[in-house]
Chain A
Amino acid sequence: MNTTRITGTLYAEMVRNGAATLYNYRSVVNDLNVFPIPDGDTGDNMYMTIESGVGMLSDSVPSSLSTASDNVARGMLLGARGNSGVILSRIFSGIAKGLKGVESADAADISRAFESGVKEAYGAVAVPVEGTILTVFKDAVNYAGKRINKYSTVETYFEDFTKELHDSLDRTPDLLQVLKDAGVVDSGGAGFVYIAEGMKDVLGGSFTGMTGSFQTNRKMPDISTFTEDSVLTFGYCTEFLLRLQRSKTDLDAFDLDKYIGYLNTVGDSVVAFRDGSIVKVHVHTKKPGDVLNNAQQIGEFLTLKIENMTLQNNETNIQNRFTLPAKGKKKRYGIVAVAAGDGIKETFRSLGCDAVVDGGQSMNPSAEDLVRAFEKINAKTILVFPNNGNIILTANQAAKLYDKADVRVLPTKTIGEGYAAISVMDTNEKDVNRLTADLEDAIAGVVTGHVSRAIRDAEKDGVKIVKDDFIGFSHDRIYTDAADRNTAARELLGHLDAEHFDILLVICGKDAPKEETDALYHELSASFKRTEVIMIDGGQPIYDYILVLE
């Protein structure tokens, strides 16, 4: 095969196959975790991100490369999860910008578009870190770009591109000490290599089928939460593919902008674009029937999906039980927290969170999950408290996608930092900048430690880690390894100077049995006299204990 140009149809197939390849290797990517505990999720995050782009492609319609790449990018921006997912979505968004107005592209065009992808991806993060997906992609784009000559084809370009991806990936431990210490290569970079390999395979005529089925942690909606007496508060997430019909409308005269204008009068969160005679629509509306009837006046549905958002994410619907805002009145501040574990979520609601989005280290929410939470809050300013460094970027992307409130993302990297900040929050403060500055001060005064079970033998930070032992770590540093979780917790607290703090909040995970947590409470109260020890049944996965010192 000698492909000189990539068309929209070919690009769509390449992206699809890239997604399928990543899907098959996602657990390999998940396991490239610098910590020897089972919380890696880069593969899942990247897959769900690219899958969200694939979902925006129409199946059989030949379209321009510009349109196809733009559709993929839009879907990925909305579906982005985790830092690697956000960066991936920005790479494809940059590529789409580089291909704007282009019907098809040769190797040189692709190279230029990829360069645009590098630029946008680096712009997406405040402080680009080398030795990550950013470096891997940039190196490969530079390498392959320099090797373009008059004999180059799309295939030779991708040969060079993927060769350097592998080489650069192998070098990531030289650039990032944490990778070297853990004996792994960068997981985001690895995920990208699988995607690119899958894309390249299409050029060679081979397609990867997906093996197995993808299990997300997404729960089925609890239909019992919407009863005979419930009120439809949030409308329906309505998505469909509409085939414009010649018998009903003049295909050439169809004005997408005008149609989007109509959708905005009956709903919000509108995303709509046209791909040939197919229109893809995403809208949140209380009257999906109206939208469907209107659509059927110009075409027929290819696919259709309607979800009741009132029950879909019901827990985000529970308002602060103590001071219910007056109906219809805009609050000054709305609070959105990201949390995993029933106990922790309940705690955050009791702290006054308007919405608690499910997620954390092992299951990152997408930008759209967060946008949906924002939509349910009637506030001038929405403050977002992530519980993981890997969610901050997604939250920032969600903030950009949402324009009905001033959304501020606080840099909370642990559940403890979120608790510390929300619990000192002065909701009467009028100056939002002063409020966020105060919150950032509160965050800075917190030390969070974690206890989790090791999944492999390892050596890190001078600590010998034995599989199935419990390790105690804080931020990126492992302090201790012990055969039981309480010893690990006590030793970790010793390293963290727990006795010099006022409060020690112990959030107990779902795997920590009650007898052990009770014993830990008594031990800690006895050994840290001036520190107030507070136990919470968090019910979170992975971390047997989350220790929050203030």
Chain B
Amino acid sequence: MLVLFTDTDCDVTPAIAKEYGYKLISMPYSVDGKTTYPYIDFDVFDAKAFYNVLRTGVLPNTSAVSRDVYISYFEPIFAAGSDILYVHFSRAMSASFEAMDQAVAMLKSKYPGREFYSVDTKGISAGSLYIVRFVGDLYKAGKSAPEIVQAAKDEVDHIGFYFFVDDLKFFMHSGRVSGLAGTMGTLLGIRPIIYVGDDGKMTSIGKEKGRTKAVARLMSYIEELGDDVKNHRVIIGHSDCLENAELVAEEIRNRFGRDIAIEFTVVNPTIGSHCGPNGVGIVFHAKHR
């Protein structure tokens, strides 16, 4: 038997996990020294409350998951004689995956014959959720693990993931985005436009002044790179700013038709710790990343 895993950095809630039968690995964050594990320490993510704390100027931190934590998730599966397929957020963004490698190596020597498959979504948040759902569909359709991994890998190469944030200081604090220009400031309406490339890392590719121009810039990418957009998933992720997400959605409906299906997702608190409140991003099927 094959057991699916994913993690909370992929914007997967217990409800979504249940839909496909995923087991959910909780990725921690800490505010003022207090560490929280999503969906372990709380049942429902109160996005408004979380992002309002960030709006007061608090800069949270995130931490990697240790080898032993991974072992505690994976060992019962191997012990029961099942294999694992883990769909995770971008390996290039976290040290967690070295711990995962160690855990897997240890477990495989302990349980020879068990298989561990993984899919690097090369994304986070909505950018990963797209692949989590993609894999889940294939799993439900009864595809084998090697088939799923190959299909997912191909699909990852066709994910367009572009977003802008409101207040640069969160990324400045986390250091996870490269290419940020010095003349951006914070909370001045200047929005860095960021994308996640082939390397699974976030890179700033410019800036726009004002929400209107930033939304137009996102649209320019979906126009230019979009590939059969309407027949694939379109996901809009936002960090507690439904208003901006709706602006983007409306533009997409205007462009691709009113009946286009758009999924909204709220950025999970761990990734929200990096991007801060009021960010908006789009995920679509693209000619290339």
A352 / chain B contacts, CB cutoff of 8 Å: 181-185
Answer whether residue B209 sits at the interface, using C-beta atoms and an 8 A cutoff.
yes
Q: Which of A111-119, A134-142, A424-432 contacts B (4 or more CB under 8 A)?
A: A424-432
Answer whether residue A419 sits at the interface, using C-beta atoms and an 8 A cutoff.
yes
A425 / chain B contacts, CB cutoff of 8 Å: 183
Q: B14 to nearest A CB, angstroms?
A: 35
Q: Contact check, B189 vs A351: say whether CB atoms are below 8 A apart.
A: no
Partner pick for A532 among B172, B184, B185, B211, CB 8 A cutoff:
B211
Q: A322-B172, A322-B180, A423-B190 are in contact. Are A350 and B213 (CB under 8 A)?
A: no
Q: Contact check, A502 vs B212: say whether CB atoms are below 8 A apart.
A: yes
A322 / chain B contacts, CB cutoff of 8 Å: 172, 180, 182, 184
> 14 new A-B pairs (CB below 8 Å) besides A322-B180, A352-B185, A419-B188?
A350-B185, A351-B184, A352-B182, A352-B184, A423-B185, A423-B189, A423-B207, A427-B181, A427-B183, A503-B189, A534-B187, A534-B188, A536-B188, A550-B189
Q: Contact check, B185 vs A530: say whether CB atoms are below 8 A apart.
A: no
Answer whether residue A478 sits at the interface, using C-beta atoms and an 8 A cutoff.
no
Partner pick for A423 among B184, B211, B213, CB 8 A cutoff:
B184
A550 / chain B contacts, CB cutoff of 8 Å: 189, 209-210
Partner pick for B183 among A335, A502, A505, A530, CB 8 A cutoff:
A335
Answer whether residue B254 sits at the interface, using C-beta atoms and an 8 A cutoff.
no
Answer whether residue A347 sits at the interface, using C-beta atoms and an 8 A cutoff.
yes
A350 / chain B contacts, CB cutoff of 8 Å: 185-186, 188
Q: Contact check, A427 vs B212: say whether CB atoms are below 8 A apart.
A: no
Q: Give bound CA distance, A335 to B183, whole Å.
A: 10
* B 169-184 contacts with A by CB, 8 A: 172, 180-184
Q: Give bound CA distance, A424 to B180, whole Å.
A: 13
Q: A322-B172, A322-B180, A423-B190 are in contact. Are A502 and B185 (CB under 8 A)?
A: no
B183, B188, B209: residue with the most chain A Cβ atoms closer than 10 Å: B183
* A 375-393 contacts with B by CB, 8 A: none
Residue of A nearest to B244 (CB): A532
Name 10 interchain pairs, CB-CB below 8 A, sorted by A.
A347-B185, A350-B186, A351-B185, A352-B183, A423-B189, A428-B181, A502-B209, A502-B212, A534-B189, A550-B210
Binary A-proximity of B189-202 (CB < 8 A = 1, otherwise 0): 11000000000000
Answer whether residue A263 sits at the interface, using C-beta atoms and an 8 A cutoff.
no
Q: Contact check, B181 vs A426: say whether CB atoms are below 8 A apart.
A: yes
Residue of B nearest to A550 (CB): B209
Q: A502-B212, A530-B212, A532-B211 are in contact. Are A347 and B183 (CB under 8 A)?
A: no
Q: Contact check, A532 vs B210: say whether CB atoms are below 8 A apart.
A: yes
Q: B205 to nearest A CB, angstroms?
A: 12
Binary B-proximity of A410-433 (CB < 8 A = 1, otherwise 0): 000000000110111111100000
Q: Contact check, A351 vs B183: say whether CB atoms are below 8 A apart.
A: yes
Residue of B nearest to A319 (CB): B182
B182, B184, B207, B210: residue with the most chain A Cβ atoms closer than 10 Å: B182
Q: How many residues of B contact A (CB 8 A)?
A: 18
* A 526-550 contacts with B by CB, 8 A: 530, 532, 534, 536, 550
Q: Contact check, B188 vs A423: say whether CB atoms are below 8 A apart.
A: yes
B180 / chain A contacts, CB cutoff of 8 Å: 322-323
Q: Please give me the 4 A-B residue pairs with the lowest Cβ-Cβ distance, nearest first.
A: A502-B210, A352-B182, A352-B183, A351-B185
* B 103-126 contacts with A by CB, 8 A: none
> Range of interface residues on chain A?
20 to 34
B213 / chain A contacts, CB cutoff of 8 Å: 502
Binary B-proximity of A325-358 (CB < 8 A = 1, otherwise 0): 0000000000100000000000100111000000
Q: Give bound CA distance, A423 to B192, whole Å.
A: 11
Q: Give bound CA distance, A427 to B207, whole Å.
A: 12
Q: Give bound CA distance, A427 to B183, whole Å.
A: 8
Q: A322-B172, A503-B189, A532-B189 are in contact. Are A424 and B182 (CB under 8 A)?
A: no
Answer whether residue A277 sits at the interface, using C-beta atoms and an 8 A cutoff.
no
Residue of A nearest to B187 (CB): A534
Answer whether residue A320 sits at the interface, using C-beta atoms and an 8 A cutoff.
yes
Q: B4 to nearest A CB, angstroms?
A: 40
Residue of B nearest to A422 (CB): B183
Q: Contact check, A320 vs B182: say whether CB atoms are below 8 A apart.
A: yes
* A 54-78 contacts with B by CB, 8 A: none
Q: Give bound CA distance, A534 to B167, whole Å.
A: 12
Q: Contact check, B182 vs A423: say whether CB atoms are below 8 A apart.
A: no
Q: Give bound CA distance, A320 to B182, whole Å.
A: 7
Q: B192 to nearest A CB, angstroms?
A: 11
Binary A-proximity of B23-34 (CB < 8 A = 1, otherwise 0): 000000000000
Residue of B nearest to A442 (CB): B209
B185 / chain A contacts, CB cutoff of 8 Å: 347, 350-352, 423
B207 / chain A contacts, CB cutoff of 8 Å: 423-424
* B 79-136 contacts with A by CB, 8 A: none
Q: A421 to nearest B CB, angstroms?
A: 10
A503 / chain B contacts, CB cutoff of 8 Å: 189, 209-210
Q: Contact check, B187 vs A423: say whether CB atoms are below 8 A apart.
A: no
Residue of A nearest to B169 (CB): A350
Q: Contact check, A347 vs B188: say whether CB atoms are below 8 A apart.
A: yes
A347 / chain B contacts, CB cutoff of 8 Å: 185, 188
B172 / chain A contacts, CB cutoff of 8 Å: 322
Q: B168 to nearest A CB, angstroms?
A: 8
Q: A425-B183, A426-B181, A427-B181 are in contact. Are A351 and B188 (CB under 8 A)?
A: yes
* A 418-470 contacts with B by CB, 8 A: 419-420, 422-428
Q: B250 to nearest A CB, angstroms?
A: 12
Q: A57 to nearest B CB, angstroms?
A: 44
Residue of A nearest to B190 (CB): A423
Partner pick for B188 among A320, A426, A505, CB 8 A cutoff:
A505
Q: Give bound CA distance, A423 to B172, whole Å.
A: 17
A536 / chain B contacts, CB cutoff of 8 Å: 188
Q: Give bound CA distance, A323 to B181, whole Å.
A: 8
Q: Contact check, A424 vs B212: say whether CB atoms are below 8 A apart.
A: no
Q: B277 to nearest A CB, angstroms?
A: 14
A530 / chain B contacts, CB cutoff of 8 Å: 212
Residue of B nearest to A335 (CB): B183
B189 / chain A contacts, CB cutoff of 8 Å: 423, 502-503, 505, 532, 534, 550
Residue of B nearest to A419 (CB): B188
* A 93-125 contacts with B by CB, 8 A: none
Q: Contact check, B209 vs A323: say whether CB atoms are below 8 A apart.
A: no
* A 498-532 contacts with B by CB, 8 A: 502-503, 505, 530, 532
A423 / chain B contacts, CB cutoff of 8 Å: 183-185, 188-190, 207, 209
Residue of A nearest to B179 (CB): A428
Residue of B nearest to A504 (CB): B189
B172, B187, B189, B207: residue with the most chain A Cβ atoms closer than 10 Å: B189
